[in-house]
Amino acid sequence: MHYNAADQTLTLFYRGNRSVYRYFNVSEEEYVAFRLSPSKGTYLNQIFKPLHPFVRLNPSQVIHLIRKPPQSTEPVQHGEDNRRGHR
């Protein structure tokens, strides 16, 4: 799930069919209500979809949303065990 407040877009990644959909004109309040709903599927189908236009994205449109893990800025001393508690 990725929300862009500036564009008011919500991008949802569906696990089962591995599809990605982008919903438009989503206010921050609507996004928060969706996140807090006890059943995301029910909220999405009954409340969200009727109010917001959406498109299915292809993989080339999604790759920029996948985040890489942060790189460590600490230097690694070769030949030493750098795990915490090991010296």
* Tens digits of residue pLDDT in 42-65: 999 998 889 999 999 886 666 555
- Within a domain: 81: no
Q: Both tokens of residue 83? A: 């795990």
Distance CA 17, CA 75 (A): 41
Q: How many structural domains comprise the chain?
A: 1
In a domain, 23, yes or no: yes
Residue 13's domain spans which residues? 2-65
Cβ atoms of 46 and 38 closer than 8 Å? no
Q: Is there a domain that residue 27 lies in?
A: yes
Give the pLDDT mean for 26-35.
94
Among 46, 38, 41, smallest CA distance to 12 is for 41
Residue 22 domain flag: yes
pTM, rounded to two decimals:
0.66
Say whether 85 sits in a helix, a strand or coil.
coil
Note whether residue 26 is domain-resident: yes
Rounded to an integer, what distance in angstroms lies between the CA atom of residue 38 and that of residue 4?
A: 22
Q: Is residue 38 part of a domain?
A: yes
